[in-house]
A and B are shown apart, each in its own frame.
Chain A
Amino acid sequence: MFHRPEGHDHVKMKNVAAILVLAALASRFGLLRAQGPAAESRTAWDGVYTEDQAKRGELIYHKECAACHGDMLAGRESAPPLTGGAFLANWNGLTMGDLFDRIRKTMPQSAPGRLTRQQDADILAFMLSVNKFPAGKTELYRQSEMLREIRFEATKPASKK
């Protein structure tokens, strides 16, 4: 993250620490607000995937997921629903990164991690579309740490109406 020239670690780290403290103070006092809306946290309601991506995800879903989770994502005894109240409740208030990592770590059950990050992101985009989250202009990320910046909110925030 930080470029660290050899031999100057100690001094450099001190500087970095100072900058971080300043940055933290600045942000607390609103001095960095100039960054605008982009700095505000996004939610799943902000058009975080594209329709094309959801269509790709749909094909992968039906091949890889539907056998257990059902062709309407309604779940079964052996797999939880991916739509509706129980699904929304499970993830409400968490981040897209949490949901994405859960897919990556444990799915498909017969061979977890077999799909690529891109395929997992596409499936997630499809799940968002079925759950009526709006599509947007940019595709859903495939990096967990970036997805962690998008909050999963079960109900549409009032300001987005």
Chain B
Amino acid sequence: MRKKKLKRLDILLFLFFVGLRCWPASVCAQIHPQDTEWPSYAADLAGTRYRPLDQINAANFSDLEIAWRIKTDNFGDRPEYKLEGTPLMVNGVLYATAGSRRAVIALDPATGELLWIHGEREGKRGGSAPRQLSGRGLAYWSDGKEERILYVTPGFRLICVDAKTGVRVPSFGDNGEVDLKVNDDQDIFPDLITGEIGMQSAPVVAKDTVIIGAAFREGMTPKSMRNNKGYVRGFDVRTGKRLWIFHTIPKKGEFGYDSWEKGSAEYTGNTGVWTQITVDEQLGLVYLPVESPTSDFYGGHRPGNNLFGETLVCVDLKTGERKWHFQLVHHPLWDMDISSAPILADITVDGKPVKAVAQPSKQGFLYVFDRLTGKPIWPIPERPVEVGNVPGEWYSATQPIPTKPAAYSRNGVSIDDLIDFTPALRDRAMEIASKYHLGPVFTPPTVSKLGGPLGTLTMGTASGGTNWPGGSYDPETHNVYVYACNSCIEPIGLVPAPKEISDLNYVAGTAGKEVQVLHGPGENAGADSPKPPTKRTGGGYVALNLDGLPLVKPPYGTITAINLDKGEFVWQIAHGETPDVVRNNEALKGLNIPRTGQETYNIGTLVTKTLIIAGEGHVTTTADHPRGAMLRAYDKATGKEVGAVYMPAPQTGSPMTYMVHGKQYIVVAVSGGPYSGEYIAYTLPSTGE
């Protein structure tokens, strides 16, 4: 990668100097500088989401106009409302996944014209998939002659198509496909059609190796302690042949097997890598962010630390052999999946150059390691944590807690965190909080009881902090820029699982509420005649908000700039307009409330030569704009907002940027609520010349 990267850097530097020489943009257009590409999901395999473009800048960001847009409704048999993709732009073509069938589309990056579409009709196999809809993206590969696009279908098949035509490449696998449910060192049960395993993230291609993780259903109320396992595999990008496999749950005799007591490694599943994988091609190292083992919140059937659950694992790109690992959470009980791409950063600490890897997290810690050795850059000591009393549970008495950088978002709930706009609101929040067990990061779940506690009130767990969009990294300033939900409260209560529902002792739930498991398609078929609902045992709904107001103080969502040379914050801002329910709230009339940001966890950031760019996750209606959301730009040095442009719906896929024919574009996926998925490309107005 170094060689390739240097090449790219040369091009970028060239572009930069051309950019300096040929301002204004109209002059640039005549010079036709070379395109700037976005060749993989996170811009590069280092997970940076960085492109040093500057045609769109602080002076003109608010002038951006829509260059083209494409609705994804017809790329599937129904519209989708959760479009999470980030397109690629390589060699003058834009590629993206789109629609409820997860089609691949190729577009002209300047006009949005549809060049080709590839879709796979998977029938029941697609319909039973644990992770449906369009997914997050795809991968591009070229040897200089051939160009290929690779993606994983909802039904868990790796498809390879010709990037020029969208037609399957016959020499890859079985006529262009590799069935990912086989040759996986396990028998996917119950069968290949309905067997629970899939993937919604974009594959990674590094040095002719395609790397594929695995994802499952949400894991809070599984039917069984037994599930399929999420191994990671490498495949030859030319032939589709499996090159290696890494057992994220070790097999007998392998390192880490002992961390699953009572033989629980045999039947426990999940523990996949469902988010983006990062690669250092030069070092030949792959960084795997591993998720939680089976049952997000109850680990009584898997005593022990459970390697490699919630562990950052470094493996060899050629062989898949483990080089080092660091378990972020021992014996996971909080759904602290490592949820986003590790970020590779070449930094300078105490005057010494360090090749580092920085891992954002749901729990708001940015874990920073030497990426060759796995040694923490700043100490991450084991600290004692609360041990709970859920029957049958196994607890780790300590957890690793970074000393630096400080947590960039809330990862626990205390009375001090509760809303304090008015005494009345605070009283109501205290009343709600009193029904729960509170505490700092790693406060364990409780059994849910009608008389209290209903559970543990947590932040920085299942949906807090940074989720799949991950962070950005700026190789110029050595800053990580990372969005976090600072108000995503997660009540974690456990209820005994009825035997007809699950073979686990406990699953997530609230006292008095029925325990439900996900129904697969076909179950309960026979429209209009559902079985009579079963009995209810009572218990009210404790809304964890106050008429739409978050239970905790603002800021609700933040972007933080963290300098990796020093391990310190450079700035932190609230990201997103103050929600309508706050601005229009009768109870808050007359109060001067600074911008609060928004309670949402799936915001991705883009970093350019000068800007941090991120859209909003909520719809608002203000004096400045009709119902919609804003794509905002901040000065990357200070965090000061320098511009904003209107989007018809919230950002649901992370923005990317590229340059073609002398023009810079920003593409972002929007959707949600009543608005079906759409990719929108923004560019500067034409100069009229």
Contact = CB atoms under 8 A, between A and B. Distances in A.
Contact of B541 (A90, A93, A106, A130): A130
Nearest to A109: B132
Interface in B579-637: 579-581, 584-586, 598-600, 617-621, 627
Given A67-B516, A71-B513, A85-B581, A92 B544 contact: no
Contacts of A68: 218, 518
A89 B618 contact: yes
Contacts of B217: 78
A60 B533 contact: yes
B618 A67 contact: no
Interface in B255-311: none
Given A84-B544, A86-B618, A67 B533 contact: no
B545 A72 contact: no
A116 interface: yes
A156 B586 contact: yes
A92 B621 contact: yes
B451 interface: no
Interface string A28-44: 00000000000000000
Interface residues of A, number: 52
Interface residues of B, number: 66
B510 A154 contact: no
Contact of A85 (B462, B518, B548): B548
Given A77-B463, A158-B586, A89 B620 contact: yes
B462 A114 contact: no
Contacts of B544: 72, 74, 84
Nearest to A112: B78
Interface in B391-417: none
A156 B621 CA distance: 16
Interface in A65-83: 66-68, 71-78, 80, 83
Contacts of A132: 543, 547
A72 B584 contact: no
B530 A63 contact: yes
B629 to A, nearest CB: 9
A155 B585 CA distance: 7
B543 A130 contact: yes
A63 B534 CA distance: 9
A64 interface: yes
B674 interface: yes
Interface stretch (B26-34, B157-165, B185-193, B521-529): B521-529
B519 interface: yes
Contacts of B536: 58-59, 62
Nearest to A58: B536
Contact of B127 (A67, A80, A110, A131): A110
Contact of A89 (B513, B527, B581, B585): B581
A103 to B, nearest CB: 11
B672 interface: yes
B674 A91 contact: yes
Contact of B520 (A102, A110, A113, A156): A110
Interface string B541-568: 1111101111000001000000000000
B516 A85 contact: no
B221 interface: yes
A62 to B, nearest CB: 5
Given A62-B513, A86-B618, A102 B221 contact: no
B545 A83 contact: yes
Nearest to B221: A67
B485 to A, nearest CB: 10
Contact of A93 (B463, B556, B600, B627): B627
B673 interface: yes
Nearest to B536: A59
A155 B522 CA distance: 40
B618 A72 contact: no
Interface in A110-161: 110-116, 119, 130-132, 154-156, 158, 161
A55 B28 CA distance: 64
Contacts of A154: 548, 580-581, 584
A63 to B, nearest CB: 5
B131 interface: yes
Contacts of A114: 525, 527-528
Contact of A71 (B510, B525, B549, B617): B510
Closest 10 CB pairs of A and B: A90-B673, A59-B533, A110-B521, A67-B518, A84-B545, A71-B513, A89-B618, A66-B516, A88-B548, A62-B514
10 contacts: A68-B218, A71-B513, A72-B543, A76-B462, A83-B543, A85-B618, A106-B80, A111-B521, A131-B543, A155-B581
Given A62-B513, A115-B527, 19 more contacts: A59-B533, A62-B514, A64-B519, A68-B218, A72-B510, A76-B462, A77-B218, A84-B545, A85-B548, A85-B550, A86-B599, A86-B600, A90-B618, A91-B674, A93-B627, A111-B521, A130-B541, A155-B548, A155-B584
